[in-house]
């Protein structure tokens, strides 16, 4: 069963999402064509049609760049920011076919033909059961991924906390050191040059690492204490940039 709107409604094309009925979504609206559609719907206190683009690469879509089925949405909130962007909260009510997509007054418009669900059948119930089972498996897989990521982040946080403590201890030791010559031995050793093996495939990482090792080697090789400390200061300042 279907029901068609009696007049064309403002339509907002979406680049990076496929809206579904029964969802409430916050969105940032940046394109002029989309902001115009939102303003028109808000001014008329009407619904707004949300429809996905066939390709997110299209900056200025034409009617043929849009899918023929979208959702009818109700604007819950419209906020315009000083930088020109717009934030909205919209609730998707129903799905439907789009007819007569046209442009005018700065935005798209279309008639909306609601797709009403047919009464549930045994086949529908069976399909629903399968969908629920598949979704449960999806949720379990995503949960496992998130737990693994959480463990990785926890381990990384522990590692960073250890490095912070070591850095503070090194800073305190250097501050208490009375022998200036000894500084040229201690400080370079506190600035690490090791990187994770997988990062060695990045040419920029390798280049930076080679440069750091050359600088530390120059400090190590310089026999004059004053020149060693000058090289040390230059090296430390470069690492701080």
Task: Using CB atoms within 10 Å of the CB of residue 177, give its burial: 0 to 12 exposed, 13 to 18 middle, 19+ buried.
Answer: middle
Higher-confidence residue of 156 and 199: namely: 156
Q: Any idea what the Cα angle at residue 215 is, between residues 233 and 220, rounded to 5°?
A: 85
Residue 178 vs residues 136, 140, 219: alpha-carbon distances, Å: 65, 59, 19
Q: Put residue 26 in one of left, alpha, beta given phi > 0 → left and psi -120 to 50 → alpha.
A: beta
Tens-place pLDDT, residues 31-80: 999 999 999 999 999 999 999 999 999 999 999 999 999 999 999 999 99
Q: Which residues contact 38 (CB under 8 A, 6 or more apart)?
A: 10, 12, 29, 48, 75, 78, 86, 88
The domain segmentation of the chain, as residue ranges, is: 2-118, 131-176, 178-241
Contact 216, 209 (CB under 8 A): no
Does 121 or 72 have the greater pLDDT score? 72
* pLDDT of the residue at 95: 93
Residue with the bigger pLDDT between 121 and 38: it is: 38
pLDDT computed for residue 5 by the predictor: 56
Percentage of residues in the chain having pLDDT higher than 90:
53
The tokens describing 34, both together, are 């989309």
Quote the Cα angle for 200-214-180, to 5°: 125
Superfamily of domain 2-118: LON domain-like (2.30.130.40)
């Amino acid at each position: 069963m279907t029901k068609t709107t009696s007049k064309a409604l403002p339509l907002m094309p979406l680049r990076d999402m496929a809206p579904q009925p029964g969802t409430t979504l916050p969105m940032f609206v940046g394109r002029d064509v989309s902001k115009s559609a939102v303003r028109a719907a808000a001014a008329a206190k009407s619904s707004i049609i949300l429809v996905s683009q066939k390709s997110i690469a299209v900056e200025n879509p034409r009617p043929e760049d849009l899918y023929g089925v979208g959702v009818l949405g109700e604007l819950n909130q419209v906020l315009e920011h000083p930088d020109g962007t717009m934030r909205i909260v919209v609730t998707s009510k129903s799905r439907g076919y789009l007819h007569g997509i046209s442009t005018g007054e700065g935005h798209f418009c279309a008639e909306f033909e609601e797709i009403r669900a047919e009464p549930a059948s045994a086949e529908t119930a069976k399909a629903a059961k399968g969908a629920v089972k598949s979704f449960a498996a999806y949720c379990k897989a995503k949960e496992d991924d998130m737990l693994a990521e959480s463990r990785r982040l926890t381990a990384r946080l522990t590692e960073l906390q250890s490095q912070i403590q070591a850095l503070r201890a090194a800073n305190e030791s250097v501050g208490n050191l009375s022998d200036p010559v000894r500084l040229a031995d201690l400080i370079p050793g506190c600035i690490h040059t090791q990187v994770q093996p997988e990062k060695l495939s990045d040419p920029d990482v390798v280049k930076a690492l080679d440069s750091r090792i050359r600088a530390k080697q120059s400090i190590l090789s310089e026999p004059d204490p004053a020149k060693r400390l000058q090289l040390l200061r230059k090296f430390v300042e470069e690492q701080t940039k």
